[in-house]
Structure 1
Amino acid sequence: MALDLTTPHDDAILSVGDFTRQVKELLESNLPPCWVRGEISNLRRQQSGHVYFTLKDSRSQLSCVLFRGDAMRQRAELRDGLQVVVYGQVSVYEPRGTHQLICRVVMEDGAGRLQQEFERLKQKLSAEGLFDAERKRPLPSLPRAVGFVTSPTGAAIRDFLSILARRGWRGRIVVIPAQVQGNGAAEQIVAGIEAAQRVDGLDLLVVGRGGGSLEDLWCFNEEIVARAVAACSLPVISAVGHEIDFTLSDFAADKRAETPSAAAELISSGYLEMLDRLDLARDGLHELAARTLERLGHRLDAAGSGLERRHPQPRLEQASLRLDDLNNRLRSGLRHILSDRRSVLKDSIHKLAAYTPESVLRVAGVELKAARERTERASSVQLRQKREYLKQLRTRLENASLKKALDRGFAVARDERGELVCAKSGLKPGQRLALDFRDGEILVRVEDM
């Protein structure tokens, strides 16, 4: 190709800045974000929080930058000589005209390969519908027996049991021991899930372990474990690692718990809610019982007051007083009548003294006889009236007597001294009483006040 060395027109000449900008636009628009593997060198951490380093291999090297926000999210400890896999977008730094990789994710080389395998398996199993929400089963609200496939010596089971004990959960825990890290761990977890399905009475199964690196947790990303979790006949909670850790068993399980401790809280939450509801119901029943007892107490007091008003003893006492009063009035009336008659007789005797003995005697005899007859007649009438009145009073008194009250179905209570018991306020539990009935007396004992 022949070169045209004639002087070009100014419009055809690019400035360095324009050329660099075209290179930038060309690279950034045609080279999408990608993963790059290499070794870190020339690592520099700026006060601004940005991290600069060179990524190299046996054939070339690439300038990289990890801005502050992305650097704070990385879990890998960056250092010179570390083999890493980075994900980022190429860019051109115009002032120097150099290209560099703006990194978003930095992982150790082994973790990178595992992450790629994780994504491959996740897409495969998701395409089969293994992670579909429609196949997720609801967890029992009050599980009575829970299985846990985990290491029996790990911190996960200790934290799990500690949370359940602190929250007062009363169910049964069955630990199915399994290796949860290293070679053969996936097979043991699958065997543990299968064994749990043969345990009688289990309502729920937890599969998990404590935190660790991606390599430590990898057994829960094995395809056989994810399929065993999805195929389990029991509802399954996956509780693997920490809150930021996700495994395939999390997606396959019916419920994911961020940690084993979170799984314990999830299991016991229904129990605590039920306790709260029972506390509310208990308080409501106590309040209802108190109101009912108060209302019945008022009714009992009113009934006791009415019974006291209808007790025969006061009526008998009033009738006795009335009888005594009438008897006294009768005696007084008779004394007045006799006194009047004596006065009349005395006057007659004085008058008799003024006459001759014979006439006086005769007149006196006649008058005395007449007076005696009148007196006898008056006294006889009054006595008959009083006797009739007394007879009526006696009949009324007998009708109001204790015997008549007993004949009408009443009973009279007497204490050990034989005194009448008119109110319950003086009684004591265990006190013995005598109850008088129409046909006899029985002894009773006070049991309940």
Structure 2
Amino acid sequence: MEKVRIVIIVLSSFLFQNLALYSNWNDISPQGRKERIYSLDIPSKQKFVSLARYSTLFDTIFAVGWSSTTGTLFSTFDGGKKWNIYQLSSLFPFSVKFLNNSQVVVCGYNYIFDDAEVRFFDLFGNQINSFEFNGESLPYSKNFFDCLVDSLNILFCGYGNSIYRYSLSEQSWQQHFVDSNQVFLKLKKFDFKTQQGDVSLGFLLGGKSYQNPTRLYYSNPELSEWNFLTDCNERFPAFELSDFYFTNWDFENNFPDGFLVGTIDDTIAILRSKPNERTFEFAFKQQNIEQPVGVFAFNQGENVVVLLSNGAFIVSGNGGVDWEYKFTDNIPKQVTGGLFFNFESEELLPDVIWRKLDVLAFGIDGTIQRFNGDYSLSVEAGNNISDQNCDEVEVWDFLGRLIYKTIDTYWFDKNFVKGLSRGVYFVVKKAKGNPCKSMIYIFF
């Protein structure tokens, strides 16, 4: 008897309507604060989690921000119901990252001594250590905009034409030159599964000034050497790059597969890479007063999510070929950045795929928002048998009634969910009259 694969698909109403308005942002901001939030982090970012573990993933959040007069470290251990607030004397912080479950690292600008500074804290806001880049014991750098925690090192970027790497085991510093006359604003690392094996590479965003980021660099697996990747302005004049996300690496061409988001004047632009040509092309372009502030891709790059400054999304379910707006109730304060979290589990039932996409957004006036994890931005359907030879589809309702039948399996895959109401459906795909795939869809 053919094995039935059960798939739970969590859907919100916007999957059934174009440009639907729905409300699924949860305001967890510390009340009465005026600092702009520049960064936040949670301790665990593992992709595969248990359902019990998932319920507590967002209990602990650390964030940093500053106003015109002071820098602040924020922490919560109950998902934002109560925030602890620590003033950071003389430091305007730009980035915070968890080292482990007991420490965080903060980097930014020391406005008293006009140089970059790194501070380590425990989870109760107690400072453990600090390093100042004043040109004496360490090279001079004016500011650090971002940091990246690796298993063995922490990397910092900002002014100084270099990456500064701190060894966690040796507690020592190394400076790695990257490029002249550049300011580096963002550090990311991606884990790629390729035909040549698994590889992790670092990526760095920079530009001639912090207001005009256009250049990308990539590292070796050890994160100790950095190479120029592309300058977006060479092909797309006036393009300002705000975020990037890569899903694969082409070893033959030394180029990533993924997406860039940014603006050209008052136009939102999403670029998709073409690794075989070592370049990018327009995937989406539209005039809009909102700014793209983050991009994320999952499901082997098929699902792409772009966060806008008003809390809305631009999404694609086919690798960036087609795009659609997903409007939300506007966040009351402007969003300037966000972190995306994609979790999977198969512990509900044998062969059940459970997927969650959560977003933590942050911005001006202390705003911190969590995208409601009870909704998914994608339809996730699993299958245990290849359906490329299937030529017929049947859909049965919970009472055993045949409600839909078609011989166009491609149209079914692309469009059938738009015509179904909430409920439980049994779907059978057939090849020459014999079932080749069976699924149970649960829409709620």
TM-score under structure 2 length normalisation = 0.18
Instruction: Report which of the two structures shows the higher radius of gyration computed on alpha carbons.
Output: 1
Q: Which structure shows the bigger proportion of residues in strand conformation?
A: 2
TM-score under structure 1 length normalisation = 0.18
